[in-house]
């Protein structure tokens, strides 16, 4: 017999169960939505404003160092206050022609010239270049060959380089319309050439040749530049093979490094004084600045380079991982070699 009461009881029970399930389905999203809404509406802790790192201009830099940096085949300028690289030049990103890019592999010299507004550089790939800092334009470049290690400006704007494996000085007539290989050049023998420095007071070019320091007179012939040896002075031992030769800031003297020692050469007395520094051997470059500024020395860590610049006491002045710094120079005026208000010129 059909039991209608029992049927109605089951129907009511199933109905209530379905209603509870329906209520849960509707209520749960509202709960989650409410949680999300509460989370979104919670007050946020304000972030501290980020202070932008201002990239200063080279002309505004109070203490800057010029690096011949071989990892990226570039010349770099470091602001010593922030320890940031604020300027760099590489042949690959300049107006150097593609067939000539390899000339600027492994830069080994970078010296400020023309009042610190230009860089004169050489590279082991054979290249020499004059670069304007303001717009990074390469105003003149050529292939000196023979692993040039240094370059210098002559009074008329011509350039001379010194090549180590090439055993030569090379004089270039600087003409911005005929570079890189159509202009006049002249070479002369110098053994294991590594450096050239113009002495404005004496109108002489200083350069080392193996175990001797030599001075040359310049013919001041803009179109056909030439040099004549006038002085030869023995370099003290035990190490020979001088590497760096550079003016001592504010003095009538030259820094010189050999394989074993660092010297200050007094030009008036023609005498060498051993520099008091723990960094003596294999120094690639020496550079001094105004009173109170440290003397910069580059001593290789591995092969020919280092990732840090040290002072005369062996203390770290600048360091950046993975750099291959060959030489480091202060970006300062060079009164020993150049006159006040020294401006760019080329052979007329």
Is the pLDDT assigned to residue 89 strictly greater than 70? yes
Residue (of 233, 247, 242, 318) closest to 283 by Cα position: 242
Asked if residue 265 lies in contact with residue 253, where contact means CB atoms within 8 angstroms, the answer is: yes
Asked if residue 113 lies in contact with residue 99, where contact means CB atoms within 8 angstroms, the answer is: no
For 72, 146, 172, the CA distances from 182, given in Å and listed in that order, are: 29, 19, 10
Q: Is 168 part of a structural domain of the chain?
A: yes
Nearest-5° Cα angle at 77, 168 to 257: 40
d(CA 108, CA 195): 11
For the sheet with 271-274, list strands across it.
Answer: 245-247, 253-257, 262-266, 271-274
Split at pLDDT 50, 70, 90, the class of 54 is: low
- What pLDDT is stored for residue 182 in this prediction? 81
The per-residue pLDDT for range 168-205, each reduced to its tens digit, is: 999 999 998 888 888 899 999 999 999 999 999 999 99
Strands (E), 156-284: 159-163, 168-172, 185-189, 197-199, 204-209, 212-218, 227-234, 245-247, 253-257, 262-266, 271-274
Residue 67's DSSP bridge partners are 76, 328
Q: Please, how many CA atoms are within 13 Å of residue 115, restricted to the half-sphere of its CB?
A: 10
Q: Is 8 part of a structural domain of the chain?
A: no
Average pLDDT value for the chain: 88
Split at pLDDT 50, 70, 90, the class of 24 is: very low
At 169 the three-state DSSP class reads: strand
What's 124's domain CATH number? 2.130.10.10
Is the pLDDT assigned to residue 85 strictly greater than 60? yes
Asked if residue 314 lies in contact with residue 279, where contact means CB atoms within 8 angstroms, the answer is: yes
Structurally, the chain folds into a number of domains equal to: 1
Q: Is 322 part of a structural domain of the chain?
A: yes
The per-residue pLDDT for range 197-224, each reduced to its tens digit, is: 999 999 999 999 999 999 999 999 999 9
Q: Which domain holds residue 214?
A: 64-330
Q: Is 69 part of a structural domain of the chain?
A: yes
The per-residue pLDDT for range 123-177, each reduced to its tens digit, is: 999 999 999 999 999 999 999 999 999 999 999 999 999 999 999 999 999 998 8
Asked if residue 65 lies in contact with residue 309, where contact means CB atoms within 8 angstroms, the answer is: yes
- What pLDDT is stored for residue 51 in this prediction? 35
CA dihedral in degrees (270, 271, 277, 278; nearest 10)?
120
The per-residue pLDDT for range 95-118, each reduced to its tens digit, is: 999 999 999 999 999 999 999 999
User: What is the percent of the chain with per-residue pLDDT over 70, rounded to a whole number?
Assistant: 84
Distance of CA 19 to the CA centre of its chain: 79
Q: Is 256 part of a structural domain of the chain?
A: yes
Q: Is 51 part of a structural domain of the chain?
A: no
Q: Is 36 part of a structural domain of the chain?
A: no
- What pLDDT is stored for residue 21 in this prediction? 53
Q: How many CB atoms lie within 10 A of CB 12?
A: 10
Q: Is 16 part of a structural domain of the chain?
A: no
Tokens of 64: 């800057």
- What pLDDT is stored for residue 45 in this prediction? 37
Tokens of 151: 């370059």
């Amino acid at each position: 017999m059909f039991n209608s009461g029992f049927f109605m009881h089951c129907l009511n029970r199933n109905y209530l169960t379905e209603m509870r399930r329906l209520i849960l389905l509707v209520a749960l999203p509202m709960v989650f939505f409410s949680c999300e809404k509460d989370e979104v509406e919670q007050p946020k802790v304000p972030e501290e404003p980020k202070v932008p790192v201002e990239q200063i201009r080279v002309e505004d830099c109070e203490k800057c160092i010029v690096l011949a940096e071989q990892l990226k085949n570039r010349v770099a300028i470091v602001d010593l206050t922030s320890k940031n690289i604020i300027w760099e030049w590489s042949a690959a990103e300049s107006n150097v022609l593609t067939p000539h890019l390899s000339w600027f592999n492994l830069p080994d010299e970078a010296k400020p010239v023309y009042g610190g507004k230009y860089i004169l550089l050489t590279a082991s790939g054979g290249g020499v270049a004059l670069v304007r800092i303001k717009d990074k334009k390469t105003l003149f470049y050529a292939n000196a060959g023979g692993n040039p290690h240094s370059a210098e400006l002559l009074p008329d704007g011509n350039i001379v380089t010194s090549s180590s494996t090439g055993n030569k000085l090379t004089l270039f007539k600087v003409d911005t319309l005929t570079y890189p290989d159509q202009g006049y050049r002249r070479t002369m023998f110098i053994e294991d050439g590594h450096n050239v420095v113009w002495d404005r007071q004496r109108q002489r070019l200083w350069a080392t040749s193996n175990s001797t320091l030599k001075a040359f007179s310049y013919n001041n012939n803009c179109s056909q530049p030439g040099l004549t040896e006038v002085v030869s002075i023995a370099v003290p031992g035990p190490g020979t093979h001088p590497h760096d030769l550079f003016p001592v800031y504010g003095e009538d003297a030259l820094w010189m490094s050999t394989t074993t020692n660092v010297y200050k050469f007094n030009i008036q007395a023609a005498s060498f004084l051993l520099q008091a520094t723990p960094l003596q051997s294999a120094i690639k470059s020496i550079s001094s600045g105004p009173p109170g500024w440290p003397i910069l020395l580059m001593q290789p860590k591995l092969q020919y380079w280092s990732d840090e610049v040290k002072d005369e006491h062996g203390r770290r002045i600048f360091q950046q991982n993975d750099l291959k710094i060959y030489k480091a120079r202060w970006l300062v005026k060079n009164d020993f070699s150049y006159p006040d208000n020294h401006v760019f010129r080329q052979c007329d």
